[in-house]
Amino acid sequence: MRLTVLGRSPASPNAGEACAGYLVEGGGSRVLVDIGPGVVAQLVKRHHPDELDAIVVSHMHADHMLDLVTLRYVFPWLARPKDQRLRVVMPPGSADQLLDLARGVGSPRHFEDTFRLSEHDGSSAVVFDNLSLRPISTQHYIPCWGFRIEADGRRLAYTADTAPSSGLNDLADSADLLLSEATLRSLDEDAAPPEPRGHLTPAEAGDAARQGGSRRLMLTHLPVNDGDAWATNAATEAFGSPVEIASPGMSYEV
C-alpha cells in the first residue's frame, strides 16, 4: 500500500501548500482521502480524477472538503452518465450541507451531475476491490471520522481531526503507519473548557502511537512555516522512536 501526500496544511495553510489530501493506493484501487483547498491542483499533476476509484471525506470542515467545488470544473460541464460519475463518499448527515454549498456556488446540481454521492454509515467498512476503509468516530468540533485503511496485508490509520479519545486509541491500535494530525503548538490553541477539544499536540500523537503499538508515526496537518523541530522533538520523545513529518508531494510505502 502506498500513501502520497497531496496536502498536509491545517486550515491556515503553510505557504505554497494545500490543505488535507491523501492519495492511498493498494489492493488494486486508488482512493483520495480528504480534498481540502489546493488538493485538486496537486492531484492533476499525477492522475486525472477519472483514475480514482473514489474520494472519501472525513468531515465537513472546509480544509478537508472544499476542493470538491474545484474538482467539478475538471470535468465537462454537461451532466455525465450515472455509470461514469466519480464516486464520492461523504460523512453521515452531510447531504444538506453539500446542497447548501452547491447552491452557494451557483447551482444546486453543481455536484450531482458529475459525482456519484453517498454517505458512509459511520462504522461499516467502505470497500473498493481489496482496499477497505473503516470509519472510526473521533473527537472534533463537529462530527468527524478517521479511517483504518487496509490492503495488501498492511494497515494505514488516518486520524483526521481529533483530540485524545477512544477513537484515536482504536485508530492507533497495531497500525503499520499512523498518519496523525498534530495541529497544536500548545493546548492554548485548542478549545477552552467547557467546550470539547478538537486537535492533538505532537506529544499527544506520540503517546497514542506508543500506547496503541503503532509501528510508525507520521505527523500531518500542522504548521511548519517556521520549521518542524518543535513537532518532531516532542512526538519522538513521547513515541520512543523517530517520527516522520508528512512531506507534500512525497509517496511512502506503508
Task: Tell me the pLDDT tens digit for each residue of 232-254.
Answer: 999 999 999 999 999 999 999 99
Instruction: Count CA within 13 A, CB hemisphere, residue 97.
Output: 15
Grid cell listed for 221 = 496537518
Structure confidence at residue 202 (pLDDT): 98
Overall residue count recorded for the chain in this entry: 254
Amino acid symbol at 186: S
- C-alpha closest to that of 62 among 89, 32, 94: 94
Grid cell listed for 153 = 496485508
For domain 2-253, give the fold. Answer: Metallo-beta-lactamase; Chain A (3.60.15)
pLDDT tier at 35, thresholds 50, 70, 90 = very high
Whether 78 has a pLDDT exceeding 90, the answer reads no
Structure confidence at residue 16 (pLDDT): 96
Instruction: Count CA within 13 A, CB hemisphere, residue 39.
Output: 32
| pTM: predicted TM-score of the whole model, two decimal places | 0.97
- Please give the mean pLDDT across all residues of the chain: 97
CA dihedral for 76, 9, 237, 209, sign (positive or negative): negative
To the nearest 10°, report the CA torsion of 115, 123, 182, 211.
-150
Structure confidence at residue 110 (pLDDT): 94
pLDDT digits (tens, 9 = 90+) for 174-200: 999 999 999 999 999 999 888 999 999
pLDDT digits (tens, 9 = 90+) for 139-151: 999 999 999 999 9
pLDDT tier at 226, thresholds 50, 70, 90 = confident
Distance CA 19, CA 25 (A): 20
Q: In what order do the strands lie in the sheet with 251-253?
A: 115-119, 86-90, 54-56, 29-33, 21-26, 2-7, 251-253
Structure confidence at residue 58 (pLDDT): 98
Mean pLDDT score, 40-52: 97
Structure confidence at residue 77 (pLDDT): 87
Domain boundaries, the chain: 2-253
Burial class of residue 227 (count of CB atoms within 10 Å of its CB; 0-12, 13-18, 19+): exposed
Whether 51 has a pLDDT exceeding 90, the answer reads yes
